[in-house]
Amino acid sequence: MTLREIRLFGDPVLTTRSDEITEFDDSLRVLVEDMLETMDEAGGVGLAANQIGLTRRVFVYDCSHIEDGLRGHIINPVWEPVGEEMQLGPEGCLSIPDVSADTQRHETVRVTGVDVDGNPLAMVASGLMARCIQHETDHLDGVLFLRRLTPELRKEAMATIRTSEWFNK
């Protein structure tokens, strides 16, 4: 397995929609393993392929630190809300270091996709896992969580980014 470089805010790949995956081979399996290792090393709960520079529709997740939490991957994810309930909570991003803001998301979602072998998978998730699914699928659509913030919070986040050491390299 190989640690991959995480792309940071400002990199055009982060605002590019990822392509559907149609080939399920050993290189895809290696990609998923590398993404899990990269996410673990960075201390994240999710990582989308475009965050490591690849416009492929796959993300990995690790919510195993919470009760009944899951760890794995979803290829070609599609989600829909279940019910009307929303959650508001802190959200950050490995591609935007040191920025966190309360972000509104659906409380419960149903997601479908496939695994590395092309087998269908589906789950209903709530709480952090639902937040992760929505955040990572946004990445695959070229949308950063900053776009989900209120104008005031987005302005604060952008001010933090503009003055950050990593952005001004």
CATH number at residue 87: 3.90.45.10
Residue 112: CB atoms within 10 Å: 14
Q: Residue 142 pLDDT more than 70?
A: yes
| Host domain of residue 73 | 12-163
pLDDT digits (tens, 9 = 90+) for 53-97: 999 999 999 988 876 678 999 999 999 999 999 999 999 999 999
20 lies in some domain: yes
Q: Answer yes or no: is 139 a known binding residue.
A: yes
Q: How far out from the chain centre does Cα 32 lie?
A: 13
User: Which of 23, 33, 84, 136 is labelled catalytic?
Assistant: 136
The total number of structural domains in the chain stands at 1
Residue 7 within a domain: no
At 67 the pLDDT is 61
Instruction: Verify whether residue 5 is a known catalytic residue.
Output: no
φ, ψ for residue 5, nearest 5 deg: -75, 130
DSSP lists the bridge partners of residue 81 as: 109
pLDDT of residue 166: 94
Q: Is 93 annotated as a binding residue?
A: yes
In a domain, 1, yes or no: no
pTM: 0.95
What stretches of 27-159 adopt beta strand conformation (E)?
46-48, 58-62, 71-81, 86-93, 96-106, 108-114, 120-126
Count of C-beta atoms within a 10 Å radius of residue 99 = 21
63 is in an annotated binding site: no
Do the domain assignments include residue 51? yes
